[in-house]
Structure 1
Amino acid sequence: MKYFKKKVRIGLVGYQWAGTMHSRAYRELASYEDAAMGPVMQTLVGRNEEHAKLAAVRLGWMSYETNWRRLLIRDDIDIIDIASPTASHAEIAIAALEAGKHVISAHPLALHSADAARMLAAARKSQCIHMAANHLLYVPAIRVMKQWVEERTIGELRSLQIHYSDDSLLGQAVGIGRYLAGEFGRVTAAALSEYGKEGSWQAGVSEERARAADTASNRLTASAAEQQPQAFLASLEGGVAGIFCYAPYSCGGRRGIRIELGGTQGMIRWSMDNMNQLKLYAPEQSHGKRGSRSIRCTAEEHPQASYCWPLGQTIGTEHTFYSMIGAFLQSILTGKELTPSFEDGYRNLLVREAVYTSAAEDRPVDILYSK
């Protein structure tokens, strides 16, 4: 039997994709030899008793409940992990924090910034550890990008470009942007209808064909698509210019994200298609040999390497969850705040709402963060 310095007992609310990935992370972390804190998968919660019971067995939980409120009065629960639909996050998180439980909530933090603000207020009052889960911030290559920005590897950061091929990724793209380049000051968005005036939304694809393809794939309806902000400009800290683009008809590119950072002395690129690798251009090479080079971010000196396979092995999406959950548990052990917290989740929602307001009202929107 393995003994940890400290054990922490978890109650998971929800068992779909986020709940499944969080469960895998807890199981994996429980097997780490050097783990300072051991997660105990105490209870899974689901509204349907039959489904909850089956999910608990399938995912490795010791027991199940059908009402999340029962977790709040149990002494054998230290953490509430919220992986339920977004509309339920605020109510569960606030009640859990008031009951003295640490809370990790799936992305996005809430439906609206007003709900997120209430969650943040409850977190500050409780002094419990809180996390707004965005596993992409725990991709080792993105952590390396952040490190290089801070070290001025490419000089002064001047531009940030993020292209994402699924509208649900807007919030995560904003979170990555804030992580890499700082706070947003103003956004100016354009809606899809602005691009459709010439009758071609994508090279070689007619408007009618694009609408039909969209409906057939059960994504946005044509009327809803016209209201989606497809691109927006942002001004960030230190005069950094941000460009965010969403390609709704990027066939085969679903869940894709591409990032490019431009500095006064170089450039860094990353793509979800090759999540372990960065492209770095730094002009220190002699004339005639200048060009970008590829760097594989799986070495022991790279951030989050301890949560992944041995040096040189492929890191996948599941490892980002191991790393994220591991950081959350470590924060509980040390009592230190971590990123992304509920405050990050709240600020991301403010930016997202500003983007939609800008697209709907056809005007720039300033982002005001309340204390």
Structure 2
Amino acid sequence: MTLRQAQGRQGRPLRVAMIGYGFMGAAHSVGWRQAPRVFALPEAVEMAVVVGRNAEAVRDAAAQWGWQESATDWREVIARDDIDIVDIVTPGDSHAEIAIAALEAGKHVLCEKPLANTVEEAEAMADAASRAAARGVRSMVGFTYRRVPAVTFLRDLIAQGAVGTIAQVRAAYRQDWLVDPAMPLAWRLQKEHAGSGALGDIGAHIIDMTQFVTGLSVDAVSGVVDTIVTQRPLADAGPMSLAKGSGESTTGYGEVTVDDVAIFTGRLSTGALVSFEATRFATGRKNDLSIEVSGDKGALRFDLEDLNTLWFYDRTAPEATQGFTRILVTEAQHPYVGAWWPAGHMLGYEHGFSHQVVDLVTAIAEGTDPHPSFDEGLSVQRVLAAVEESSANDSAWVRISARQPANR
């Protein structure tokens, strides 16, 4: 594909502005950089500008990650005529303001998960996305784990009837980076910035993944959230580190205002039960996202710490040979894999961000709405809010009623 062919209808590449430059900024930058070089995208893309409040730090990030320039005012960047896509990787408290402004300015939007910090913010974002879609402006939420080839393939197998009627789902996301009580009070531990703790940060992923792979909605929940370490040291200068051994001195302590662990049960639209666990206190678990879907014909299991593998149990096979079978999801016919390496040459965490770019740019070029949509992000937000409501009411069951779209 030549550059002229790739530029498509616009006559120039789609130019991207990324707002934010932390951990997710690095991951998204890899996606924007790799996707055009590996996949035959229907339109070319350019990494135009990265935006952050610290001029020196964001300038360094631009140079390291391959952005053409840096800036400190996201409003000025969104107003520019040469920007087509706005990629939001800031903390959740700014998602709604930036996304709505970008959509109203006619920019396509990719927004990191969870969509917002509150249901009300997420509703406003979904309404803005619907209005923008009527003008051909696209929006998508960054639930990137959908785009791990094994997860997409798991979804495809369920849709083909591999497990039959779903009876039960078990989904968990376990990390251990907060076990040390000396870990400083980062923004992810402050409700005004993060919205919630383990529940929203990693619980959002397992809610979305459950709905994605089963094709069913979570209609009711019962659960509890808890904060294990209620105070943490304050970093006395600079950005608060999320990693041990940062070398930062601390002075005083601050309150942790979000949850460390969330354990809840969900009931799907068919009546099937799901068990959910989201924790940042699972000692020894670094990034353990797992899901197992059980049905009357079989079962499928996935674990992010072995992300090129699916396990499939075929209950219709002869009893003498029944057992979980390992499927190595590295063949060219598997989702996304054909553009990468020969069979057996593994993909990693970062590849999902390239696949995210592929799907967004393809939707923009084809004039279709990408998934997960802001409405799908809103559905997850409503489940998160229901879990918090349940926990505040002695784990009472909370039903999640459908919202009627407003002003769309």
Fold equivalence (TM over 0.5)? yes
What residue is the counterpart of 2:108 in the other structure? 102
Name which of 361, 367, 384 aligns with 1:335: 367
Please tell me whether residue 189 in structure 1 is matched to residue 223 in structure 2: yes
The secondary structure found in structure 1 opposite 2:350 is: helix
Look up the match of 1:165.
174
Distance 2:120 2:266 in 1: 22
TM-score (norm 1): 0.88
1:221-300 equivalences under 5 Å are: 230-300=262-332
Aligned-pair identity (%):
28
Match of 1:176 in 2: 209
Residue 307 of structure 1 and its aligned partner are, at CA, apart by: 4.8
Secondary structure of 2:292 counterpart: strand
Q: Could you tell me which of 6, 22, 25 is aligned with 2:31?
A: 25
For residues 104-131 of structure 1, the C-alpha deviation after alignment (integer angstroms, 9 at most, x for no partner) is 0111111111101111111111111101
Amino acid at match of 2:121: D
Report the residue type matching 1:342 in the other structure.
Answer: F
- Cα deviation 1:264-317 (Å, max 9, x = unaligned): 011111111111101111023323221111001111111122454333211101
Separation in 2, partners of 1:313, 1:252 = 27
Cα distance, 1:360 vs structure 2: 1.4
In 1: Cα distance, 2:258 partner to 2:370 partner: 37
- Which residue of the partner structure matches residue 397 of structure 2? 364
2:81 paired residue number:
75
Which one of 116, 127, 131 corresponds to residue 121 of structure 1? 127
Report the Cα distance in structure 1 between the residues aligned to 2:26 and 2:206, rounded to whole angstroms: 23
How far apart in 2 are the matches of 1:226 and 1:296? 38
CA contact (8 A) 2:299 2:312 kept: yes
- Rounded Cα–Cα distance in structure 2 between residues aligned with 1:191 and 1:353: 11
2:350 to 287, 303, 318: 318
Q: Is the 8 A contact 1:169 1:255 kept in 2?
A: no
Change (3 A) 1:218 1:23: closer
Moved more, 338-347 or 97-106: 338-347
2:324 maps to amino acid: S
Q: What residue number does 2:40 align with?
A: 34
What's 1:197 paired with? Answer: none
Give the unaligned 5+ runs of structure 2.
176-197, 234-240, 244-252
Whether the 8 Å contact between 1:229 and 1:359 is mirrored in structure 2 is no
Instruction: Answer yes or no: is the 8 Å Cα contact 1:233–1:242 preserved in 2.
Output: yes
Partner residue, 1:196: none
Contact 2:39 2:339 in 1 (8 A): no
Q: 1:231 to 1:63 in 2, by over 3 A?
A: same
Unaligned runs of 5+ in 1: 194-209
Aligned counterparts of 1:175 and 1:33: Cα–Cα separation in 2: 26
Q: 1:65 to 1:107 in 2, by over 3 A?
A: same
Contact 2:141 2:377 in 1 (8 A): yes
- Does the aligned pair in 1 maintain the 2:261–2:281 contact within 8 Å? no
Alignment of 1:55-70 (within 5 A): 55-70=61-76
CA–CA distance in 2 between the matches of 1:52 and 1:191?
Answer: 35
Aligned partners of 1:359, 1:46: CA distance in 2, in Å? 36
Deviation of the 1:163 alpha carbon: 1.7
Partner residue of 1:344 out of 358, 371, 376: 376
What amino acid sits opposite 1:98 in the alignment? Answer: E
Q: Which residue of 2 aligns with 1:141?
A: 150
Alignment correspondent of 2:21: 15
Alignment partners' CA distance in 1, 2:114 and 2:123: 13
- Partner in structure 2 of residue 198 of structure 1: none
Q: CA, structure 1 residues 344+241, in 2 after alignment: closer, same or farther (shift >3 Å)?
A: same
Q: Please tell me whether the aligned partners of residues 13 and 80 of structure 1 are also in contact (alpha carbons under 8 angstroms).
A: yes
Shift of 1:228: 5.6
Change in 2 beyond 3 A, CA 1:256/1:345: same
Describe the SS at the equivalent of 2:114.
Answer: coil
TM-score by length of 2: 0.81
Please show how residues 198-209 of structure 1 align to structure 2 within 5 Å: none
Backbone CA RMSD of aligned residues: 2.4
The aligned length equals 351
Native 8 Å contact 1:10 1:40 kept in 2? yes
For residues 237 and 320 of structure 1, the distance between their equivalents in structure 2, rounded to whole angstroms, comes to 28
